[in-house]
Chains A and B, each alone.
Chain A
Amino acid sequence: MAEATPIVPSLAPLAISPELAARPPLVQVLHDWIVTVDHKRLGLMYFSYGIVMLVVGGVEASIMRAQLAVANNHLVSPETFNRMFTMHGTTMIFFAAMPIVFGFANYLLPLMIGARDMAFPRLNAWGFWMTAFGGILLYFSFVGGFGLYGAGSAPDVGWFAYAPLTSPAFSVGHSTDYWIIALLISGFGSIATAVNILTTIVCMRCPGMTLRRLPLLAWMNIVMAFLVLVAISPLTAAQIMLLLDRYLGSHFFDTQAGGSAVIWMHFFWIFGHPEVYILVLPAFAIISEVIPVFSRKPIFGYNIMVAATIAIGFISLSVWAHHMFTIGMTSYANAFFVASTAAIAVPTGIKIFNWVGTMWGGKIHYTVAMLFCIAFLCQFLIAGLTGIMLSAAPFDWQLGNSYFVIAHFHYVILGGIIFAVFAGTYYWYPKVTGRMMSETLGKWHFWLFLIGFHLTFDFMHIPGLLGMPRRIYTYDASRGWEMWNLIVSIGVVFQALGVLAWVLNVVWSSLKGKVAGNDPWDAWTLEWTTSSPPPSYNFPQLPVVRSRRPLWDIKHPEDPDWKYE
């Protein structure tokens, strides 16, 4: 790529005297990380925590796939299998995906909008530690939880914990309470972080950074944070109700006293569907920053991208009951949720067209980050198409709760979100560590993970179409599902190897990677004006921007963007 470009002198970091630059002892370093309120360190902690949980959740998924690889398998007991799918789902959504997207937001937002930190640095630390504590509490259930099958029982009610399974009668002991309280606590952390993200973007923008000049990453995180505020809160409310039911004998979800099991479904999915967009909007945000830089073109249709993001934010709040077609709602409710679900494809489609439009006619650099983006585009399109299929209520009646649904939403979450997260790590790693990630190892990572992903999730659609329901711990050989399940399970091996290559790359590159310089990709947003890694105060003086691509303006004073915007 282009060599590091000269930096405007005023943006260079302050000189540090040698005694300050000396290495502090390890205890001091650890202490500094634990008490830190620096958005970059908290961002990295969120991210690392999410990755650890991603691996844990991945191990749980691998156990399930090992169990399902052949028919009539007895590798794990049905009880263990129930715990595995419950913990896998809960871990991946709340303790892997959300911390990772919050990590990106925390690290990048202040740098991209020209601020020295988040609006409320201490609240930021509080949010992280609440989330971290929630995850630890959830996993403590493996040791301290007491359930239907005795001690050491992790939650086993499924990640959406439908009533009445969660009632004290059917879910004895404390394992379900671990699930409730872990999510309640991490939910408080998430709400705090969302408050912080929104306030940061609204209030901490540097002079000249108007809303029309905001990087798309920031715009999409605004909508994400708004969705956290209005979607995580209903989950918090529902969890409080469930706790009251379990401990004080109230009757919210107690059908024998006139309560309703279905209203838990409504409350859960009022949270649950926007949650998908809470996770996918930050993925869109990463894609929207990476594709322009590696296509050497500004983003195509900035305004319409912002409008589409806001539209997705609002429409996503009115589609939740498409998770509930199979419970038998009125035809009016079905029609409404079919229509709103199909409608959300419109702004999403606009986005895909705009990303392709950005690449169109561009000078595309096939870096590993860009490869992940291109894979994201193809896979997210397919995920969207199966989503449209499932949005039709009659189709959903046939395939609801089958492996087709599992394949669909893993296509969204892995094929979409995780691929974007990988793209983001390759793109911003040089900024965070000062060194480049290895492109060779990166290509191994990309191809191994791509092959593994498609082996697993392309072929997972088929047993779903053949009628294989989700959450069964084994199946009979006569069903004709065997070969497909074996292929699906083999894909997991490739995915694991891919993730291993990635972890190796992260570790190896931090020690031996090529020194990156401030701006290795010849990019355009403010984070690339700082040193790599950025100093703790980010900017010695706040920058002043005049366009969406402030670095372009610096590098090309003869043809700056602000003349055209």
Chain B
Amino acid sequence: MTVPQHEVAPHAHLRGKVGMWCLIIAESAIFSIFVVAYLYYAGKSLSGPTPAQVLDIPIFTSICLFSSSLTIWLAEKALHAGDIKRFGLFWFVTIALGAIFLGGTAREWYRLIYHDGLTISTNLFGTTFYSLVGLHAFHVTVGLTGLTLILLFTLFGAVKQEHAGRITVFAMYWHFVDVVWVVVLSVVYFITR
């Protein structure tokens, strides 16, 4: 051992990213169990309605959610470059796209519950559908809450270029939520419908 000189651990700046990766691993495990339950019970409902009867592929809202990954990346890039206005703009667009997605889910659920009579206790399809899609929607809601808070901070001038690293960490969560939708969309609306 030589005389200590360095005051900062060499990898300390990576801790936000590493921490978020760990959270993503844990979250993936939770989603995996719900996906497994969905696949395991697919087609095992004792009564209707079935997915083929009531589910429509949410093309437009899915495109919105996937696009929000692009806009949040553009926002991140703007902040790294120090362009706060551009950052705020793309951040707002991200929120709007996320909100459209959530609104789409709300409309879909309203239709399923009031027109098609499918609730969580109707049959196994209802059980696994609402829990899996609902778990994802819950994550979108958490993400939107965080995004909105950061937008408010931005409007009050509290977000500066030096926070770009933290914004990147938050954006990782949002990307994760989008990637999960790729899986949920494929499983629920394509593979088992």
Contacts and interface: CB of A to CB of B under 8 A. Distances in A.
Interface of A: 8, 10-11, 114-115, 119-120, 191, 194-196, 198-199, 202-207, 225-226, 229-234, 236-238, 240-241, 244, 248-252, 257-260, 263, 267, 270, 539, 541-546, 550, 553-554
B176 to A, nearest CB: 14
Contact of B34 (A229, A237, A259): A237
Main secondary structure of the interface of A (DSSP, over half): helix
A545 B10 CA distance: 13
Q: A-B pairs with the 7 shortest C-beta distances? A: A249-B121, A233-B29, A237-B33, A250-B127, A541-B4, A203-B15, A195-B22
Given A120-B15, A199-B15, A233-B26, A207 B46 contact: no
Contacts of B131: 240-241, 244, 250, 252
A258 B44 contact: yes
Contacts of A225: 22
A541 B7 CA distance: 6
A204 B7 contact: no
Interface string B5-29: 1111111111100110011011101
A230 B15 CA distance: 20
Contacts of A198: 18, 22
B37 A252 contact: yes
B40 interface: yes
28 contacts: A8-B1, A8-B3, A119-B12, A119-B19, A191-B26, A195-B22, A195-B26, A198-B22, A203-B14, A204-B9, A205-B9, A205-B11, A206-B9, A225-B22, A229-B29, A231-B29, A234-B32, A238-B33, A240-B131, A249-B120, A251-B121, A251-B124, A252-B37, A257-B124, A542-B8, A544-B5, A553-B1, A554-B1
Contacts of B44: 258
Interface in B80-132: 120-121, 123-124, 126-128, 130-131
B124 A544 contact: no
Contacts of A207: 4-6, 9-10
A230 B32 CA distance: 10
B77 to A, nearest CB: 24
Interface residues of B, number: 43
Contacts of A554: 1
Contacts of B5: 207, 541, 544
B53 interface: no
Q: Give the residue among A225, A257, A270 with the most B Cβ atoms within 10 A.
A: A257
A194 B9 contact: no
A303 B15 CA distance: 26
Contacts of A241: 34, 37, 131
